Structure 1
Amino acid sequence: MKEIKINTEFIKLDQLMKFANLVQSGGEAKGLIAQELVLVNGEICTQRGKKIRPGDQVEFDGEVVCVK
């Protein structure tokens, strides 16, 4: 599990995926989210702009990112 610290109230899902190096670009994140390949707190998420807050977990391709 990788921990990512943010200094704001939230980060959007596609931005987090790029920030955590899960994807190379926002466009790649958008496509993967649309294909229902990304889990937020254990549930499939299709909203690329979903607000991810501290305590949330994002999972993609076997990697888990926990936001602190």
Structure 2
Amino acid sequence: MEAIQISDEFIKLGQALKLANLVSSGVEAKIVVQNGEVKVNGEVDTRRGRKLYPQDVFEYDGKQVTVIGE
């Protein structure tokens, strides 16, 4: 499982997808999230602005990424 590190309290789902290099742009992130292709902690989430905190896990295109804090 891959991981991304954040320095703030949370990161929004669309930003996390870009940071993990799973999508190339915010527009692409919006599309895949709205299409129900992204899971957060095992459940489909269609909110691009969903706040992810350390220990949250998101999944897209068969890849899982965990969020870690500083």
Cα distance, 1:52 vs. partner?
Answer: 0.4
Q: Tell me which residue corresponds to 2:58.
A: 58
Scaled by the length of structure 2, the TM-score of the pair is 0.95
Partner of 1:36: 36
Identity of aligned residues (%): 51
Residue ranges of structure 2 left out of the alignment (5+ in a row): none
Name the residue aligned to 1:10.
10
Q: Which runs of 5+ in 1 are unaligned?
A: none
Distance in 1 separating the partners of 2:66 and 2:11: 12
The aligned residue for residue 45 of structure 2 is: 45
Q: How many residues get paired?
A: 68
Corresponding residue for 1:24? 24
| Paired AA for residue 56 in structure 1 | D
TM (normalized to structure 1)? 0.98
Over the residues paired in the alignment, what is the CA RMSD in angstroms?
A: 0.4
- Shift of the alpha carbon at 1:60? 0.3
C-alpha distance in 1 between matches for 2:11 and 2:3: 14
- Matched letter for residue 31 of structure 2: G
